[in-house]
Amino acid sequence: MSTDAFAPSPTRYDGTSYRRVGRSGVLLPPISLGFWQNFGEDRDPQTLRAIVRRAFDLGITHFDLANNYGPPPGSAEEHVGRILEQDFRHLRDEIIVSTKAGYRMGPGPYGDGGSRKYLLSSLDRSLHRLGLGYVDIFYHHREDPDTPLEETMGALDQAVRSGRALYAGISNYSPERTVEAAEILADLGTPLLIHQPSYSMFNRSVEHGLLDVADGLGIGLAVYSPLQQGLLTNKYASGVPTGSRASSTGGSLTSRQVHDHAYQECRHGLSEIAHGRGQSLAQLALAWTLRHPSVATALVGASTVRQLEQNILTVENLDFTREELARIDEYAIDGTAR
């Protein structure tokens, strides 16, 4: 990897209106850079480094990871760790780095779930891969019905009190369990900062309680998959490209979903609305998720610098008329792409 010095743009903060995370003091950019399924060992390190550099120059100060991101698991943290060491050592105070644990990362009984043993040892390994002394946000990645919630939240509290994380978060929790988790953490003295759920025009489950819960608790949302893994972009307009997520077997997106008739009809309608607003379908989809005050940021991945730049243009048009929202509701149908 090239060792040329990174000199960030002096105007990197000029075009971004940062959004407050709930009732906390934390501000996040409306678009954050996520590393799920796109920063693995099969990617060119120079391209990955260029994406992260450009993101920062565009005002993206939040980099989101998890212990199992790659592929293979752990490789995204390793890639980002090398980039942080080369380019961001002197900029650590200007970035928010988050990671998660909750899915399987190792053999045996201590490599998965929500136990204190698993979460804290996983966090230590993440810090080693990232080359950091602490992460800004540490999430429990999913509910674990086999572990008492008190133990899981106690581990997040310990992560914060030990200095390995500044804030505690959860991901993929139901509204009811979110309330329980927040109450436990409040009793421990470590407030719940943020929840990371999936949210898109084709997956509106957060509107069935979680948005209200977030508002009531004063926590923020960092939504992932706002583009439904590419379904709400032009990538699959003409089928399934070779090398795309939907072309692989066993992935989280299938060619059946791409060719689903209901999806095709909805996508066409949404594309027409986007065109009328002077946006791409992806930009419309991102702006739509950001319309809720509780949504602090939308996490996007990027395969190229240009793709990242196009997504960032979303912030130039985040306002919707009532008529536009009503038209979008005709096509933004929950569960369309499942």
Q: What 3 state SS string does 57-113 have? A: HCCCCEEECCCCCCCCCCHHHHHHHHHHHHHCHHHHHHCEEEEEECCCCCCCCCCCC
Confidence of residue 161 (pLDDT cuts 50, 70, 90): very high
Task: Give dist(CA 62, CA 32) in Å, integer.
Answer: 5
Residues 232-238, mean pLDDT to the nearest whole number: 73
Q: What 3-state DSSP class applies to 163?
A: coil
Average pLDDT along the chain: 93
Task: Give dist(CA 121, CA 33) in Å, integer.
Answer: 25
Residue 198 has a pLDDT of: 97
Q: What is the pLDDT of residues 187-213, one digit of tens each?
A: 999 999 999 999 999 999 999 999 999
Confidence of residue 264 (pLDDT cuts 50, 70, 90): confident
Residues 282-286, mean pLDDT to the nearest whole number: 98
Residue 243 has a pLDDT of: 52
Q: What is the pLDDT of residues 80-89, one digit of tens each?
A: 999 999 999 9
Confidence of residue 336 (pLDDT cuts 50, 70, 90): low
Domains of the chain: 19-227+289-316 (3.20.20.100)
Characterize the bridge pairing of strands 31-34 and 165-171: unpaired
Confidence of residue 5 (pLDDT cuts 50, 70, 90): confident
Residue 256 has a pLDDT of: 59
Residue 247 has a pLDDT of: 41
Residues 157-180, mean pLDDT to the nearest whole number: 98
pLDDT at 250 over 60: no
The proportion of the chain whose per-residue pLDDT surpasses 70, expressed as a percent, equals: 91
Residue 200 has a pLDDT of: 97
Confidence of residue 338 (pLDDT cuts 50, 70, 90): very low
- Compute the 3-state secondary structure of the chain and give helix, strand, coil in percent, each to the nearest 5: 40, 15, 45
Task: Give dist(CA 176, CA 143) in Å, integer.
Answer: 11
Residue with tokens 């550099």: 53
Task: Give dist(CA 273, CA 281) in Å, integer.
Answer: 8
Residue 334 has a pLDDT of: 84
Closest CA to 336 of 235, 244, 238, 231: 231
